[in-house]
Amino acid sequence: MHILLKQTFTAGILAAMVVTAAQAAPAEAPPAFVKRVADGLITRLKTDNAKLQNNPAAIKAIVRQNLDPYVDGQAFTRIVMGTYANTSTPAQRAQFEQNFRNTLIENYGSAFAKYSTQTYTLRPYKDTGSKNPVVTIDFNNKGDKIPVSFQLADAGSQWKIRNINVSGIDLGLQFRNQFAANVKRNGGNVDKAIATFQPDADAAVKK
């Protein structure tokens, strides 16, 4: 009887774990998630366009509210820090993520402000079963198509953006090169490199 109760109890726990895992999975399909985030941000930028002229602080505030919550900061941190992510302390990685988010908001803000009056199309999406699906948007910028691909990560209840590719250029990799160069400029001092790192999206895209 005792063994039967123990088996039943164990089975119940396993069943609960399976149900919890199923409930925690993102309910949205990857393209629906990307479209929702892009539409929300672009709508805000269009609606407040007149207020945003020569007002970078307002742009950053809108981007922070409408994009930052959907970015997987920890994953982005590991991608950009590269090998330094393995040798750094949790405190250093946390500081890097905070600084990286703050400076990246400025890059995102200026970039999306340029596209706020443009249209975009969502490319057909094919589910390959990857744990990091990629969804691509083509921005129509005065007749030119600018492809922006979002690589996603399963954050449990929703998808989050872990990396971005613009016109075939991997921003995570470019930022990694920028950070490595900054570590070198600071004589190998990772703390100084973290404190002074300024990711430059414009320079990365021009590579």
User: Does 49 fall in a domain?
Assistant: yes
CATH code for the domain in which residue 44 is found: 3.10.450.710
User: Does 145 fall in a domain?
Assistant: yes
- pLDDT of amino acid 117: 64
User: Does 21 fall in a domain?
Assistant: no
pLDDT band at 206 (very low <50, low <70, confident <90, very high): low
- Domain of residue 81: give its range: 28-205
Predicted structure pTM score: 0.79
Residue pair 71/100 in contact by the 8 Å Cβ criterion: no
Say which range, 16-20, 101-105, 201-205, has the weakest mean pLDDT: 16-20
Mean pLDDT of 177-194: 96
102-153 residue pLDDT tens: 877 766 666 666 666 678 899 999 888 889 999 999 988 777 888 999 999 9
pLDDT above 90 for 96: yes
186-192: which pairs have CB atoms within 8 A and are 24 or more residues apart? 190/84, 190/87, 190/88, 190/92, 191/92
Q: Give the number of domains in the chain.
A: 1
When computed from its CA atoms, the radius of gyration of the chain, rounded to whole angstroms, is 20
29-83 residue pLDDT tens: 999 999 999 898 888 888 887 777 778 788 888 888 888 889 998 999 999 999 9
2 vs 62 pLDDT, higher one: 62
User: Does 4 fall in a domain?
Assistant: no
